[in-house]
Chains A and B, each alone.
Chain A
């Protein structure tokens, strides 16, 4: 097991280097210069342009810039944002908890509703419930986030006043400095009456919007995986032994059906973070998504490179964790390694 762990970890190193290279090159292929992009109609004199390009090391050959960058990364230095002159890591980890909080809630929602829905649909295969669930999941699967977000905002916030429109907490009534960066936890820690519920109210719509796609995927995957497992001999044997249907489905079938579902959940983390970019924009959610988009438009090379690398590393690690989880769900897989 330990050998496997090291092997997998070693495999992430070339992925990480490739990622660093691709991000570094891709942003430089986009037309526009980080110094000039900020200049308005006034323009900038060639002397000042040259001075700032030199200060930022942009006058060096690209290969040298890359080596410098890689060396700094090896020393844990992700550089300084060109826009704000703040450390990239500081900026990123100020915003990342908001993205994690949103993504985590969306994923929990998707799992909590998706798995039971998929199991029920498989057990009641062909029933009206199955039909409705499958057609609804297609809708959820193909729903554009932007449209869905605006629709829910119009209905629940603007129309029925059931939830706030956007943001993470009501700024008039609640104010506390962030401790963990997770608004729900910070609200609890603040001891301000009503703050936690207000934070939850702010979280509902974005989490539903972001969770819709993985919910549909998980429900469909659970259903098809369960259908396959339910026709296995060992399930028939379990039934023949007289076990209760709940025990057969819940213990014998579901546990075996979960492997592909867990894979899908792991793979969804990437798309979840991509979806978070849009969701954060619609709901003014101060996460890394909006920050990354701004970094692209402002050609903030260090912020973009650093941000993409940390997010990608996070996705790699989650998938790594998912791989390890296989062994927990099905010990035969762990032994087989």
Chain B
């Protein structure tokens, strides 16, 4: 049992209560504490085991990665790796690790050494090598490591010396540098892992996190609170607050009320309906930016008549996008004209979106030899996603618009797992879907339209395979010059627009609400909530 203040005699406590009752309030410290009203409990504190932002946010204060996204951007910079070189073959990455970086301590564990290459090896081998003793611990689901194709990309990871790591790739892949800045690539302490293994409680390794990050873990009470304290030995930008508290508040209305009453300083995910009032409140500050996501309506190009690009273009002109943005997104959406949002590098702003023009759509269908009325299936999403607040409503609005050009769309849906699987198998004619970016690299969006992903079971849901587009996609992965890569992605967006494999709906706008006294918060395009560099005034 641990108290901030050591237990004294019970009578003293009762007296204290009486005094507190008389004065009406009591405080126990003057430390600068920031309370963040989060939306849920983390599954555990090992990001590699999870896929939700709730868990990533809860573990992020504790950990660092080899590379890091500069706060508030998707720009990849040094992290625990001070620098790196890409070999001439494009397949060898050599990382030079930072020296003198300390791991946090817990009640039971005191690190005896600084961070080194063994910790990097452990952090990746745990997710990769079945013979690692932690491979199966805590369920052993390393979804992100697999989703980002790391087993296919990596050939080997070796320690050259204590502060040098050599990563060999099966083929050149520059976006891997962004993968390494993702939460699943957080660096854990190999020494702590050994300690827990010897103690016979390896699963506790994932419950009481030890990292090198700006805050160290103090305590967690499920569905209630997570506490962190500033890591005064932090190698990077020092935290400006003393304590960071996550007050777990699942209900958005309760979060907003707590923000208003000052019970929390920052809240996640305000309700769109509350935003106008929030923005008027002088005690609060609301910021926003388009999220790294996209909602779209995929045309299965393997199903006639959607194999013809003129038909796809016609359907793109048949739906009133602005009405969807107004009625479903309630203004919290940016019209999408390319797969990536405007905040991402390589965004091609010169592209002109298809106008809403039912008459032209009808004419184009006729010109393409499609007799109207014709029937299609329109699959709508059965769940709410960050990029799609109401799949059914969007489906109904599209259905009504399509009827005006002589297209009878039948609304269809399934349970979410089933829905996704069937779409990946190409059973749909058209269907709503979307994407949330993982690492801010354009490749992470455009590979959705690559030929490799167009196979049955692949995540290219329009099953569209364009050789020119695909060649550019593969070439862009091998270049280390970002400007050169950006040019290729811009070119790909022109092809994508012309071919219209999808009707691009929207990038949802992500809002963050906080009290006026919170300064220095930078909104992350990746949806991360980071409190290093944040202060209370």
* A residues at B contact (CB < 8 Å): 31-33, 36-46, 48, 52, 55, 82-86, 91, 94-95, 98, 150, 153-154, 157-158, 161, 164-168, 170-179, 188-194, 196-198, 281-284, 286-287, 290-291, 294
Q: How many angstroms between the C-alpha atoms of A37 and B421 in the bound complex?
A: 12
Is B75 part of the binding interface, using a Cβ–Cβ cutoff of 8 Å? no
Question: Which residue from A41, A46, A173, A291 sits with its C-beta under 8 Å from B28?
Answer: A173
Q: How many angstroms between the C-alpha atoms of A55 and B136 in the bound complex?
A: 10
A203: min CB distance to chain B, Å: 14
Add 9 more A-B contacts to A42-B459, A174-B4, A188-B13 (CB < 8 A). A40-B436, A95-B223, A153-B257, A165-B263, A166-B263, A177-B3, A192-B13, A197-B17, A281-B250
* B residues at A contact (CB < 8 Å): 1-8, 10, 12-13, 16-17, 19-21, 25-29, 33, 35, 40, 43-44, 49, 51, 137-141, 143, 146-147, 203, 206-207, 219, 221-225, 227, 245, 247-251, 253-254, 257-258, 260-261, 263, 415-418, 420-421, 424, 433-436, 457, 459
6 cross-chain pairs, A with B, having the tightest CB-CB distances, nearest first: A194-B26, A193-B16, A194-B20, A286-B223, A36-B417, A31-B415
Question: With A39-B143, A166-B254, A197-B17 known to touch, is A94 a contact of B222 (CB < 8 Å)?
Answer: yes
Majority SS at the chain B contact face: mixed
Q: How many angstroms between the C-alpha atoms of A191 and B225 in the bound complex?
A: 20
Question: Which residue from A40, A154, A173, A177 sits with its C-beta under 8 Å from B51?
Answer: A40
A17: min CB distance to chain B, Å: 29
Contact status B457-A32, CB under 8 Å: no
Residues in B with CB closer than 8 Å to A94 are 221-222
Contact status A43-B26, CB under 8 Å: no
| B253 and chain A: residue at smallest CB distance | A150
Q: How many angstroms between the C-alpha atoms of A244 and B523 in the bound complex?
A: 73
Question: Which residue from B10, B28, B139, B421 sits with its C-beta under 8 Å from A85?
Answer: B139
Contact status B433-A41, CB under 8 Å: yes
Contact status A39-B420, CB under 8 Å: yes
User: Would you give 28 A-B contacts (Cβ < 8 Å), ordered by A?
Assistant: A31-B415, A31-B418, A32-B416, A42-B147, A43-B421, A43-B457, A43-B459, A45-B146, A95-B223, A161-B261, A165-B258, A165-B263, A166-B249, A167-B263, A171-B247, A172-B27, A172-B245, A175-B219, A175-B227, A176-B1, A177-B1, A189-B7, A191-B12, A192-B3, A193-B13, A194-B16, A284-B250, A286-B224
Contact status B221-A178, CB under 8 Å: yes
Majority SS at the chain A contact face: loop
Task: Compute the total of residue contacts between A and B using a CB distance below 8 Å.
Answer: 184
B249: min CB distance to chain A, Å: 4
Contact status B13-A167, CB under 8 Å: no
| A177 and chain B: residue at smallest CB distance | B2
Q: How many angstroms between the C-alpha atoms of A16 and B243 in the bound complex?
A: 47
Question: Which residue from A40, A45, A165, A171 sits with its C-beta under 8 Å from B261?
Answer: A165
Residues in B with CB closer than 8 Å to A166 are 249, 251, 254, 257-258, 263
Residues in A with CB closer than 8 Å to B138 are 85
Question: Which residue from B4, B5, B206, B417 sits with its C-beta under 8 Å from A32?
Answer: B417
| B25 and chain A: residue at smallest CB distance | A194
Question: Which residue from A98, A191, A197, A198 sits with its C-beta under 8 Å from B5?
Answer: A191
Residues in A with CB closer than 8 Å to B27 are 172-173
Residues in A with CB closer than 8 Å to B250 are 281, 284, 290
Q: How many angstroms between the C-alpha atoms of A45 and B254 in the bound complex?
A: 39
Q: How many angstroms between the C-alpha atoms of A94 and B224 in the bound complex?
A: 11
Contact status B263-A164, CB under 8 Å: yes
Residues in B with CB closer than 8 Å to A91 are 222
Q: How many angstroms between the C-alpha atoms of A94 and B221 in the bound complex?
A: 9
A44: min CB distance to chain B, Å: 8
Contact status A85-B44, CB under 8 Å: yes
Question: With A39-B417, A177-B2, A190-B7 known to touch, is A284 a contact of B254 (CB < 8 Å)?
Answer: yes
Contact status B221-A286, CB under 8 Å: yes
Q: How many angstroms between the C-alpha atoms of A283 and B29 in the bound complex?
A: 26
Contact status B254-A168, CB under 8 Å: no
Contact status B224-A282, CB under 8 Å: no
Question: With A31-B418, A39-B143 known to touch, is A286 a contact of B248 (CB < 8 Å)?
Answer: yes
Question: With A43-B424, A85-B44, A290-B223 known to touch, is A284 a contact of B251 (CB < 8 Å)?
Answer: yes
